[in-house]
Amino acid sequence: MRDVYHEELDSIGRTLIEMTGLVGAAMSRATAALLDADLQVAESVISADDAVDALQHELDSRALDLLARQQPVAGDLRTIITSLRMSADLERMGDLARHVAKVARLRYPEIAIPEDLRATIAEMGRIAGELARKTAEIIEGRDVNAARELPEDDDAMDELHRALFRALLDKTGEYSVETAIDVTLIGRYYERFADHAVSVARRLIFLVTGERH
């Protein structure tokens, strides 16, 4: 019985890694859709988010079922609760990738991002993909050291986010209100995506060490 139980726990861990891979790929593809005004890619990101939501529901039911049937204590209990919280972060990261893709779709065939801001958005997309890749490794290896380094990537994201606002404000008159709205929302989607990746890393640190932050 305990073996089936630990297999279940491992399988929950694998689902978290799978979700992380999916949301990372979604944000990278949403970025490409946004910068190339690629409607087909945008549509596929939007519809692929259902798979992330389904994985979350499935993971949550399995975790709740384990809690109810096995009444785990100490470490296993913490693992299950942490998994529920990570899955909520990951589900939200999927939503944010979908939001980016929706802006791409809304403005198609135009490119929502003005030319001189595209390099910044491309870099935000690259960091988002990198954060997801590292987050998957952190979960897989229960890698506390790597988890402690993740906020550095988030700092880089925050800096790009500020740069985006500065660029919008510096060239007043050059950008339309519509562009200001799109860029403001998109910047926030990337920033929140990064925040949730850091949140997953923090939860991993708490899981392994018992430390908060």
Binding site for a second copy (CB under 8 A): 57, 64, 67-68, 71, 73-74, 77-78, 81, 84-85, 88, 165, 168-169, 172, 175-178, 180-181, 184-185, 188, 212
For residues 19 and 87, the answer to whether their CB atoms sit within 8 Å is: yes
Instruction: Give the residue with the Cβ less far from a second copy, 38 or 95.
Output: 95
Neighbours of 172 (CB within 10 A): 8
Task: Give the rounded distance of the alpha carbon of 35 from its chain centre.
Answer: 19
In whole angstroms, the minimum distance from the beta carbon of 70 to a second copy comes to 9
For 111, which DSSP code? Answer: -
In whole angstroms, the minimum distance from the beta carbon of 172 to a second copy comes to 5
In whole angstroms, the minimum distance from the beta carbon of 185 to a second copy comes to 6
In whole angstroms, the minimum distance from the beta carbon of 199 to a second copy comes to 10
- Distance between CA 190 and CA 113 in Å, rounded? 14
For residues 90 and 200, the answer to whether their CB atoms sit within 8 Å is: yes
Instruction: Give the residue with the Cβ less far from a second copy, 37 or 77.
Output: 77
**Three-state SS for 145?**
helix
Contacts of 32 (CB under 8 A, 6+ apart): 38, 41, 125
Instruction: Give the residue with the Cβ less far from a second copy, 28 or 120.
Output: 120
> What are the tokens at 167?
């660029």
- Distance between CA 204 and CA 82 in Å, rounded? 8
In whole angstroms, the minimum distance from the beta carbon of 52 to a second copy comes to 16
